[in-house]
Amino acid sequence: TKVHHHTFVIEETNYTRLCYTKSILTVNGQFPGPTINARNGDMVIVKVYNRAGYNITLHWHGIRETRNPWSDGTEYITQCPIQPGGNFTQRIDLTNEEGTLWWHAHSDWDRATLYGAIVVRPTRGTAFPFSKPQKEIPILLGEWWIANVSQILADLIRTGGDPNISDAYTINGQPGDFYPCSRKDTFKVLVEYGKTYLLRVVNAAINNELYFAVAGHKLTVVCTDASYTKPFTTDFIMITPGQTFNLLLEANNPAGADPLAPRRFYMAARSYSSAQNVSFDNTTTTAILEYTTGSSPSTPAAPPQLPYLPGYNDTNAATVFTAGLRSLASREHPVDVPQTIDRRIIITVSVNLLTCPGATCTGPGNNRMASSLNNDSFRNPRIDILEAYYYSISGDYGTNFPDRPPSYFNFTADMIPQNMTFTKRNTEVKVLEYNTSVEVVFQGTNLLAGENHPMHLHGFTFYVVGRGFGNYDEKRDPLGYNLVDPAYENTVGVPRNGWAAIRFRADNPGVWFMHCHLERHLTWGMDTVFIVKNGKGPQERLLPPPPDMPPC
Ligand code: C2O
Ligand code: CU
């Protein structure tokens, strides 16, 4: 195994965006943070130093971390945070991954600026299942607030209402030409006519699903969440926070070879906001794709065109795009979809209310906003669940996360009685027997507001076997599943007022977080934990903790 060593120093650094300078959390002073480059089968060891004034953790999103949740980096789930002045060494085991993933902070909303790409190329002696691109370009989509993000989070918790929306989206940390004081730093990609480029797109935004497109060019999806797909050509993508797509872009616009034509094209992203009556950042971020071929420097550059992007509430466009995703399912990249299951877990995914002590909340009806899975709104424990589990510390969490919604009603009706919207708080997890085949059906609800929820599971990649609108029908809907070549993902968008079914084998012992990747919903409690028990064999057991676990 090839081992790569990295040192990540988390520190506050001044950055200027949208005409204002503020101190942000960075790794090694860089924003976005450093890219981790490796190959399938490699091991990456990252020594993380916390030189910031806050408790922080770092997570490697989409990495299986077989038997080693100790390195997963989720605050109060797999570790207590790295305290200011502390450090922690984490291992990223790339045995199972090939494609684009990313790393991000997993404490409070620190991931707003603490994120970077993980690029995993094919192992030596093997190749991409498509011709080698001329160049590979990470495209990290993010979100920027002029205020400090820790203040945005503090206000969210204090008021109990919706969070303040962001002031910009960003591409590789830059807002682009349509924002104040940004034009000179707009991210630019230089291309040659006739060559093919691989865009490695990550949605690192905090609270927004995004449409992304490149003017004058088609995009061919070849990989999602580090799993190859059947190539599928599209004018735009819809990407949820947490997801990644590898896109082939052929630099074949005729203007690219014409010295007199404008040879610059915008790539752009803006919100797909599936909830009604929820305010969102409706600005557009851009970067520039520029042809270097056929150019004569004296040619005046005409202004680039914006690409077509679907409307912010165009759920149909999002649905059509998502339905096109299929695993490659080739001999080199086979699928292994569980054809039968040992258990089905049905989980409602809701935005709810909790009553507010005092009259200080500005949420609906002077209550405060909350979120839940099966009407459990998760509260972080005092000691991380992994250590409590490993050392059998009782009283930290319960194991009664329900297998079914506590009550059945018309989850996706237009009007749901308001008294249904209240939830309860607790710290309940789901225990899974080793190697069982598990199906989880996420059922969206229209409590308060129906919305597309990007549900993410740590420690696994799963097959998205079905998806639909309305209420899941346990008799009828499984008949329509794709058990042949479903997309293999770590984050699934549960359609607004609909459902999504995933399957995986519980063959990774440990403690694994599962949550909505919209940060406001995670803060409100849209999360729980799967504990996968040890198997019998020595290779089927959770590894022991490293000696430098941060103290609780
Ligand atoms: Cu991308 Cu729990 O994380
Ligand atoms: Cu959500």
What CATH number has the domain bearing residue 494? 2.60.40.420
* 104 Cβ closer than 6 Å to some ligand 1 atom: yes
β-pair partners for 529: 513
Residue 551 lies in a domain: no
Q: From the CA of 434, how far away is ligand 2's center (Å)?
A: 28
- Quote the CA–CA distance of 105 and 57 in Å, as a whole number: 5
Residue 311 lies in a domain: yes
* 59 Cβ closer than 6 Å to some ligand 1 atom: yes
Same domain, 378 and 325: no
Which residue among 126, 156, 173 closes a domain? 126
Q: Which residue's CA is the closest to the ligand 1 atom numbered 3?
A: 61
Q: What is the pLDDT of residues 475-522, one digit of tens each?
A: 999 999 999 999 999 999 999 999 999 999 999 999 999 999 999 999
Which residue among 99, 126, 153 closes a domain? 126
Whose atoms come closest to the Cα of 514: which ligand? 1
Residue 550 lies in a domain: no
Total domain count, the chain: 3
Same domain, 237 and 102: no
Same domain, 267 and 161: yes
Per this entry, what is the length of the chain? Answer: 552
Contacts by 317-322, CB closer than 8 A, 24 or more apart: 317/211, 317/236, 317/238, 317/272, 318/209, 318/211, 318/238, 318/272, 318/274, 318/452, 318/493, 318/495, 319/495, 321/234, 321/236, 321/237, 321/238, 322/238, 322/467, 322/493
Name which of 105, 89, 51 is nearest 519 in CA terms. 105
- Residues flanking ion ligand 2, Cβ below 5 Å: 453, 516, 518, 521
Whose atoms come closest to the Cα of 515: which ligand? 1
Is residue 219 within 8 A of residue 184, CB to CB? The reply is: no
3-state secondary structure of 300: coil
Residue 549 lies in a domain: no
Residue 358 lies in a domain: yes
Q: From the CA of 290, how far away is ligand 2's center (Å)?
A: 36
Q: From the CA of 492, how far away is ligand 1's center (Å)?
A: 12
Name which of 247, 301, 300 is nearest 269 in CA terms. 247
> What's the pLDDT at 178?
97
Whose atoms come closest to the Cα of 350: which ligand? 2
Same domain, 246 and 385: no
Same domain, 488 and 424: yes
> What's the pLDDT at 361?
84
Same domain, 114 and 208: no
Is residue 432 within 8 A of residue 530, CB to CB? The reply is: yes
> What's the pLDDT at 360?
74
Same domain, 180 and 244: yes
Q: From the CA of 60, how far away is ligand 1's center (Å)?
A: 8
Same domain, 103 and 149: no
- Quote the CA–CA distance of 230 and 333 in Å, as a whole number: 11
* 513 Cβ closer than 6 Å to some ligand 1 atom: yes
> What's the pLDDT at 255?
85
Q: From the CA of 305, how far away is ligand 2's center (Å)?
A: 33
Amino acid at 524: W
Which residue among 96, 126, 156 closes a domain? 126
Ligand 1 atom index nearest CA of 522: 2
Is residue 212 within 8 A of residue 239, CB to CB? The reply is: yes
Same domain, 200 and 211: yes
Residue 547 lies in a domain: no
Q: From the CA of 375, how far away is ligand 1's center (Å)?
A: 21
Residue 517 lies in a domain: yes
The residues, any chain, with a CB within 8 Å of residue 474's CB and separated by 6 or more, are 344, 346
Same domain, 360 and 488: yes
- Domain, as residue range, for 407: 343-540
Q: Which residues of the chain have pLDDT under 70?
A: 294-302, 358-359
In the structure encoding, which two tokens stand for residue 477, read together? 């809907």
Same domain, 454 and 313: no
Same domain, 365 and 472: yes
Residue 57 lies in a domain: yes
